[in-house]
Amino acid sequence: MDLKGLLLLFFSSRRQSTDYVLFSLYSNHPTLCCFNFVKFKIPLKNILTVEKTSSACPIPGYVVTTPRGKFCKQEDLLVLLD
């Protein structure tokens, strides 16, 4: 196994109950995946960006950026924005 091709960077925030991983397997482009998801609603006015996780991730989701940080949500994007 080529260790140059395997890069794992773990970002976690226990305060936000959100864990997401940025990784790259034999690629120059990192992939963003979520493993723990918040259940609370995020008001639309607080959402700065929404990024869909990669199709290579084991669990589909969205990384929502707010002024308070990044949160992983699992809902469909239309439900998320209601």
What pLDDT does residue 79 have?
A: 60
What pLDDT does residue 67 have?
A: 96
Residue 80 host element (H or E): helix 77-80
What is the identity of the amino acid at 18? T
Phi, psi of 32 (to 5 degrees): -105, 125
Q: Is the pLDDT of residue 81 over 60?
A: no
What pLDDT does residue 23 have?
A: 52
Phi, psi of 33 (to 5 degrees): -130, 150
pLDDT (tens digit per residue) in 44-74 = 999 999 999 888 888 899 999 999 999 999 8
Domains contained in the chain, CATH given = 3-80 (2.40.50.40)
Q: Report helix, strand or coil for 27.
A: coil
Q: Is the pLDDT of residue 39 over 60?
A: yes
For residue 24, how far is the Cα from the chain centroid?
14
